[in-house]
Structure 1
Amino acid sequence: MELGIGMFGDLSFDTATGKPRAAKVKLQEILEQIKLADDIGLDVFGLGEHHRPDYAVSAPEIVLAAAASITKNIKLFSTVTVLSSAEPVKVYQNFSTIDLISNGRAEIGVGRGSFIESFPLFGYNLKDYDQLFEEKLDLLLNINNNEVVNWKGELRVPLINQQVLPRATNNGKLPIWIAVGGTPESVLRAAKLGLPLIVAIIGGMPKQFKPLIDYYKQEYVKHGHDVANMQIGIHSHSFLSNEPQNIAEYFNNYAAQMNRVGASRGWPPYAKSQYDGGRTKEGALFIGDANEVTDKILYMHELFGITRFIGHMDVGDPSHKNMMKAIELFGKEVAPAVRKAVV
């Protein structure tokens, strides 16, 4: 099983001024954190796209390209690229370039996006939410499989004998994962296409997702794909410390970010009881000491048969010092224990 770290580049806010801290500082910290994850042998690093004042990363491919030049082995993954409001030709070109710089370590995670800021920002109509994703995924897969592209849709001008360059290292093909939040339609799409699936499990009880993942497995085989190639991942909020006080204090960071997001979605204030419940075995938060997080990842492997776990580890913008320590614990204590247990 592959183990990795994911981030969105969360920015904490100064309570006195109401302003987020500098994105410049955060981006430099992220690069240090990616380098550490690579140095200690983690398998993958994921970075997501947002267009809000509480996130520093609007262009994950740029940060991943910078990371490609300072890392050696870790896979560089978008978690996710909001494909519905992106240009598939440029998405492929950006990630094939990262792939060439990194000697074959680039991967794309594509999703429809749970945040909608990118749609008006780039001139797309939300009424086309589903069709945009379907068409653009079809085009991206066409590009991934063919250097010379012939494609026609309804929401974008056709491509007729257009050469898309540069090509990625693996005969031009990049790994493309479908990222979902829990809709059966999205899972079915991934299964039909035989694409790897990564599920964001950030609330409730993970075992509630078992029917969905079982559905993916069933449909994957039903549509003629080799089960030996099946890849299933989960992406969940995580934070590690072997000091109980640090875990208790992290609630403040976590609740602050959940409340910022929730304010625009009509959520009630995030409660300590939710945090504590999420940290139990049946909860969705991978927040605790190294042993607790290890046991929970192994439970996910038992429950779902996952081949990849990504711990989303910067929710609420914990300090750089605490992030570096959390990544170190994940790489030096959790990863070896999980790898030893999963044969």
Structure 2
Amino acid sequence: MSDCIKTVAILGASGSVGTQTIDVIAQHTDKLALKFISVHTQTKTLVDVAQRLSVPTVAVTDERHSHDAVLSELSSTTKLLVGMHDAIEACKDSDIDIVVLSVVGAAGLTACYELIKAGKTVALANKESLVVGGDLIMPMVAADQLLPVDSEHAAIFQCYQGEDARATHKIWLTCSGGPFRGLSRQELMHKTPSDALAHPTWNMGAKISIDSATLMNKGLERIEAMHLFHADLNQIEILIHPESKIHSMVEYCDGSILAHIGISDMRIPIQYALSYPERWETPAPRLNFFELQACSFDAPDMESFRCLQLAERAARARGTMPCVLNAANEIAVYAFLDGSIGFTAIDETVERCMDMHVARPVESLEHLLEVDAWSRSYARQVIRRYSS
């Protein structure tokens, strides 16, 4: 292995961030080498990527797909692992420089905890890791060990380069407003999964697209930013910016505001996490300021989009409450996607779970997993009542 080539592992290679990470690596094979990938069920994608980029080790984390016929097409030199535990262990290999953690939902919590504990550098695209386990994980994080991939957090991270974070007045966390911006709660009640999946500016997976429609995604990002940048929640303000060209801003005590501006393409923050502290030639088109007609801003409607209120409530309670918020939301989102509940029942389900929980300080990873399991179970009970 050449000293100038950075070796990469991807946990969650078939999702939106995973596939775009592979695209970045394919554009920079002189600087990056893909050593490991995992998928949960998309074994055809696994085989295609392994063949195209000569990936030496791969994993299928859903054991039910470990014998899919397509896996027989893997090269005889490619090592196949099964299960999340083995996938995480593979990422700890000393031959891997950076792990892109892009699995969706709370499944990333254990992976993030184990990788940080093992001293690996993690490019984090799984916001739930810090939403649920920020109190547990952040005290273990060394300087530059956890690099944000979410466009907003990558933007804030870049606005802090060369600056003293103690001089922060406010973090402006921008938000497109999603596909339902401007609608009343009454109008939201009748929205379908296909309506909610039609995000105006970003191409994302189903779970994150629904979170963007409810604005839960932004509530979770606010909690993540609180942990990642050691900020007080009151310093982090959500700003609706439909054009999605300003990806977030940091306002300093002297009134100066540093903004990160660019096109809506996740390959840019992904590449920065992989190239950090360097900058490489862009993997995406450039922003044309002459075609940018305007940038508009607005305050979020926290009455219609009640997930923002619930996320703030969880952030202020801290401890185990964000775990309940996140787990209940995951169950409710998938129930909405399969037609079991309506759109506004997502936040109603989350609220009922939070009402039944008393926040406690986080004691351990096992403690969080127990709270996560309780919240999912109770959320399913709430959803069954909707159906009965």
Q: TM-score range by the shorter chain?
A: 0.3 to 0.5
- The higher radius of gyration belongs to 2
Q: Identify the structure with bigger relative contact order (alpha carbons < 8 Å, sequence gap 6+).
A: 1
TM-score (norm 1): 0.33
TM-score (norm 2): 0.30
